Amino acid sequence: MIIGILTVSDRASRGDYEDLGGPAIISYLDAALSSSWTALRRIVPDGVDSVATAMVELCEAGAALILSTGGTGPSPRDQTPEAMARVIDKELPGFGELMRRVSLYEVPTAILSRQSAGVRGKTLIVSLPGKPASITTCLDAVFPAIPYCLELIGAGHMETNARVVSAFRPT
């Protein structure tokens, strides 16, 4: 299974700042997944066009899942949700609602975050915050639903390491 890892950051895309979000996502997936997967990584600057283009390219490359990090705050350059809205066919608002809720236990400014998720064709796209600790918090919350969602959209089958995250599939 191909999983797109998309880091959204002006500074990281220029090489001024080390990308910490992308490696945090990969580390999480290495621990959480027991089925085979391949990462397709991209680092792009903030902005609707750059993010939307990268998301579409990852979908066209066969990514079943895209996990983006960064660009979900309220600052003028944070436009990942606007880019995602441009490329998805269906919004899945429960992902963002849950990620903000669990993040509020750690930081009161979680209400400023605009994480979201949606489906484009046979690809699930989930936007995550930029901080590695927040990425883990959010993935811990939503990942149990991701394997079943991938099956429902026809993206394929994913197995998880139950010691890290237990995938929920209704019987």
pLDDT at 82: 97
pLDDT, tens only, 63-85: 999 999 999 999 999 999 999 99
Amino acid letter, 47 = G
- How, if at all, do strands 65-69 and 2-8 pair? parallel
Regarding pTM above 0.95, the answer is yes
Q: Is residue 160 part of a domain?
A: no
pLDDT, tens only, 37-58: 999 999 999 999 999 999 999 9
Neighbour-count burial for 115-140, b at 16+ CB within 10 Å, e otherwise: bbbbbbeebbbbbbbbbbebbbbbbe
| SS3 (DSSP) at 23 | helix
Boundaries of domain holding 138:
2-152
Q: Is residue 25 part of a domain?
A: yes
Mean pLDDT of the chain: 97
Cβ atoms 158, 167 nearer than 8 A = yes
Q: Is residue 162 part of a domain?
A: no
Q: Is residue 167 part of a domain?
A: no
CA distance 8 to 54: 10
pLDDT at 171: 85
CATH number, domain containing residue 50: 3.40.980.10
pLDDT at 152: 98
In the chain, the number of structural domains is 1
Q: Is residue 158 part of a domain?
A: no
